[in-house]
Structure 1
Amino acid sequence: MSILPNSVEYWAANRPDDVAFIEGDRRMTWSQLNDAANRVAHGLAARGVVSGDIVVLRTQIRIEWPILSEAIGKLRCSLLGLNWRLTPSETQYVLSNSGAQVVVCDDEDPAALKPAFEGLPIKLAVSIGAASPGFVAFSELLEASAEPALHSTGRPPLILYTSGTTGLPKGVVSVLQPGVQMDARTSEYLSDVASTRRGQPGGVSLLTLPLHHGAGPSQVWGAIQLGNPTVMMRRFDPEAALRLIAQHGVTNWTGVPTMYKRLAALPKDVLDTYDVSSIRALSVGAAPVPYELKRWIIRTFGGGVLGEGYGATEVGMISFLPPEMQELKPGSSGRPHKHVDISIRDTEGRELPRNRSGEIWIRTPVTIRSYLNGKPLGADTRDDDGYFRVGDVGMLDDDGYLFITDRAKDMIIAGGVNIYPAEIEAAILRHPDVQDVAVIGIPDDEFGEQVKAFCELKPGHETDEAAILAFCRDHLASYKRPKTLSIVDELPRNTMGKLLKRELREPYWKGRERNV
């Protein structure tokens, strides 16, 4: 079988000794990556993994991820990126809903994950690092033969789980399946999106974004396409990030606003210690970016490097604000990509004119028609013309630039991570003393937003905030747990009994430039 251009196999054949990935003191060349991927693919196949299987990667940012990603591609399997912080019950739901049968994790205690497999047809569980009964060690997979060499047809289909307003996570399968003939519109759209990443051959990429979101895998695969090395950072630390930029001559980095805020909080003498002149392209996204923070980034890293992207898992990337427009269109998320249509609508679904705020509906060449193993989307989510309701509120100005002002859905974004109140509320309602609960996002200078809960107790019941917060520890991943909780006599509701979260939010967001 012929080797795909710009693939790991291609670089292994043409530039075998060039470094592909760096993590801490670990280095991996293209030939080592391809050899390891062949071994792992044969090791997985010997243990019953076959084409079409969904392989779950529940790992932090680490050098084993690209090995596994390539092995999964060689076996014609799909890759499901799963947040390593999810509890066993949250993990079990995703495994059950997706039908995945293979799980790879790097948990410190893999045994704690075993309850997630109960009652499910999991045929193989692999642990990177810690040994545990019932888990095959990743090192054992690497002991398989690398022969015969296997060839992938490109990156594996990617499955990511997102939550809707119901709070139950839903699987989104990337529309771009390897080997599928792509129509011209989709191809042009993807080329336009790729151009905004501003990667060039000879560059060096720094990866600090998790691999269970679209941006992380996209950055890894984009660097492979260019034959560029990627420096991987397992846990983000602001000074260590500057050190890596200076040490490796990093040219491209994508971060969430929280990461940039942490950099900006460093003392000036620390910032001045590191040479960041190698940076050619910085990207920021996944959460609203305060204008003052953008100005700090431009002052620190220079003009002409900062770009901002806006997208959603269900529709792909939507818009991009290039470096030259950052100060001309402050607060904007940019103009739509090629073949992306934006429709601003009122609550009745009528199109609104320019400069009027309403719900944002999006149509792209990769908009999903249904969630994984779900029914076709209803008209309230995806209309007959293929527009998807993303759940944000915003407007288009006279020049066609998009401005996002609020969220129609209740989603909270903390440190670039989407958190869904409905899921948190469902967990808190299991507490025996809680009658009703409302979860909102309140301002947080470091993370953008933090989770706050308001609880109404059942008549005659008594408990305190600490007891409910302790209860949350058993039912919610750490990043979803409320940071603060207030017990109130009565939650605000309208005449129909619907919770009025806006009334809870208002005191916290008063005087802020935007409500997200």
Structure 2
Amino acid sequence: MNSNLIIHCGERRLEGAQLRENADRAATGFASLGLQPGDAVAVMLRNDLPYLELMLALGRLGVHLVAVNWHFQAEEAGFILRDSGAKAFVVHADLWPNVADAVPPGLQVLVVPTPVEIEALYGARDTVPALPPGSLSWAPWRDGFEPATAPPVPSVGSMLYTSGTTGRPKAVMRLPGTPRQHEGSLRIRAMASQARAGMRTAVVGPLYHAGPNAAARVALELAEEIVVLPRFDAEQLLCTIERHRITHLSMVPVMLVRLLKLPEALRRAHDVSSLENVTHGGSPCAPEVRRAIIDWWGPIVNETYGSTEAGLVTFVTAAQWLERPGTAGRPFPGTSIRILDDEGRELPPNAVGEIYVNTGDNALPFTYRHNEAQRRAIERDGYITNGDVGHLDAEGYLYVTDRKRDMVISGGVNIYPAEIEHALVANPEVADCAVFGVPDSEYGEAVAAAVVRAPGSRITEAEVREWLRARVAGYKVPRLVEFHDALPREGMGKVFKNRLRAPHWERAGRSI
């Protein structure tokens, strides 16, 4: 950690040395709860200083930080708390009532008071009714321990939940790995963000997501100034860049879209000349957006491609992208890519197939918690796939031409249709349903639902949304609901979702 590090969060200012001391005290506290390397602590916080403390504290113990999306409803959060085997749960005070009923009995709960800037933004109230016996208040509990002095255990980072066709998310759990893999993982993350010692950066996305989480970990190692924003706001970010002379940012494309939608006069009024590097990833970026942001900020806007499992895979600079529009770049040194057909045969340049990746020593090994069979199923000869489809050109540049078959990527967020379908089909007024992605000019994709009404039902689009809003996070609720007499299904019952998606993508002039 940079000895001169300063962290800003709302009106609060914390020196790096104090952050480190807080984290070391928390590490002692977690050790007193009996946590061992390989154990897990679930964290359901908005962007706040304790999140950074937890990253450092759990990292030095070799304990997994289980990142829980704070939008989750009780059932969604409860599944992760149970599945992860978390030994403790750290939660913002205002979020507690939403999930209290789903917290496993006996789980140690630590409550973080909701900061004033979050109260203002979200209308949150720092009141916690019916806390369980034995719950603890974060700062007094943390400060009741002496700072840890034992040598740190190699960090296993965050346990992030992803999903597939089952409708239930699965945990991508990093394994301890080798010193070389730890060094390689940090090196690749730093390369992706073009990070340097003494940089000044802002955390602009939620820390429960892989991208902001990884960027924050790099910043804690190298930055001299970190501004933690409670949520993304385009104008606020411009003010932050100008006020703090921000040099490095990690973003997702929807943020670039919102910046570009600001009035021209407002955009030009802010000085962004301090920016040295902006890296975006997490979802496809429309070419017109990429060109416009490069025109505004200069040839400093780079892009990465990767996955929760593989980590960062490719990198492309602005100059390379302008020469090869649409490319996701070339693999990082030490990473290799194969394009395979359905029989596992390697395809030549420009032939489209499934993308398989071997990151070598550039990432820690992983498994799916409770699902080693599925982990084995995605690997061929040491290369893993997340189901994405694309091709390599003759110079080794990757082009991603399709994505996971059902997953919707909206604003950089992975949304898994099966989970929404399971919630929707439970409605007695719904006979059948399918959820899929349609093009969206701001988010890249939006969630759509095709619904077959039950006999005699007159369920409306608004009622479909109301039903789902009570059962899944708000961002998973479909923005488009269509009603059909029947869904196109094959003999074995699989829905031909391409037939549902195709008209929307064709109207938008884009391929699926």
Same fold (TM over 0.5): yes
Indicate yes or no: 2:24 matched with 1:24.
Answer: no
Aligned pairs (5 A) from 1:107-506: 107-118=93-104, 120-129=105-114, 130-132=126-128, 133-134=131-132, 135-147=135-147, 149=149, 152-153=152-153, 155-175=155-175, 177=176, 181-183=178-180, 187-188=183-184, 191-303=187-299, 305-365=300-360, 366=363, 368=365, 370-377=367-374, 380-383=377-380, 385-506=381-502
Q: TM-score with structure 1 length normalisation?
A: 0.90
Q: List per-residue Cα deviations over 1:363-413 (Å, max 9, x = no partner).
A: 222475630122233664222x02222121211111111111112421101
Q: TM-score with structure 2 length normalisation?
A: 0.90
The residue type equivalent to 1:170 in the other structure is K
Matched residue pairs, number? 495
Q: List per-residue Cα deviations over 1:182-210 (Å, max 9, x = no partner).
A: 34x77557534532321112210111122
Change (3 A) 1:349 1:66: same
Structure 1: gaps (5+ residues): 1-6
Does structure 1 conserve the Cα–Cα contact (< 8 Å) formed by 2:201 and 2:223? no
Does structure 2 conserve the Cα–Cα contact (< 8 Å) formed by 1:433 and 1:463? yes
Matched position secondary structure for 2:13:
strand
CA distance, structure 2, for counterparts of residue 79 and residue 396 of structure 1: 35
Does structure 1 conserve the Cα–Cα contact (< 8 Å) formed by 2:434 and 2:450? yes
Change (3 A) 1:150 1:217: farther
Corresponding position of 1:3: none
The residue type equivalent to 1:364 in the other structure is T
CA distance, structure 1, for counterparts of residue 190 and residue 148 of structure 2: 33
CA distance, structure 1, for counterparts of residue 456 and residue 342 of structure 2: 40
Corresponding position of 1:60: 46
Structure 2: gaps (5+ residues): 115-125
Matched position secondary structure for 2:144:
coil
Share of identical aligned residues, percent? 34
The residue type equivalent to 1:25 in the other structure is E
CA distance, structure 1, for counterparts of residue 48 and residue 182 of structure 2: 31
Q: List per-residue Cα deviations over 1:27-71 (Å, max 9, x = no partner).
A: 110221122223333444555555543111111111221112222
The residue type equivalent to 2:157 in the other structure is P
CA distance, structure 1, for counterparts of residue 352 and residue 418 of structure 2: 25
Change (3 A) 1:352 1:377: same
The residue type equivalent to 1:351 in the other structure is E
CA distance, structure 2, for counterparts of residue 467 and residue 318 of structure 1: 42
CA distance, structure 2, for counterparts of residue 240 and residue 48 of structure 1: 42
CA distance, structure 2, for counterparts of residue 75 and residue 362 of structure 1: 30
CA distance, structure 2, for counterparts of residue 254 and residue 369 of structure 1: 24
Indicate yes or no: 2:72 matched with 1:86.
Answer: yes
Aligned pairs (5 A) from 1:65-76: 65-76=51-62
CA distance, structure 1, for counterparts of residue 364 and residue 165 of structure 2: 18
Matched position secondary structure for 1:475:
coil
Does structure 1 conserve the Cα–Cα contact (< 8 Å) formed by 2:61 and 2:153? no
Which range moves more in the overlay, 364-373 or 272-281? Answer: 364-373
CA distance, structure 1, for counterparts of residue 61 and residue 394 of structure 2: 49
Shift of 1:155: 4.1
Change (3 A) 1:458 1:349: farther
Does structure 2 conserve the Cα–Cα contact (< 8 Å) formed by 1:189 and 1:337? no
Does structure 1 conserve the Cα–Cα contact (< 8 Å) formed by 2:23 and 2:53? yes
Matched position secondary structure for 2:329:
strand
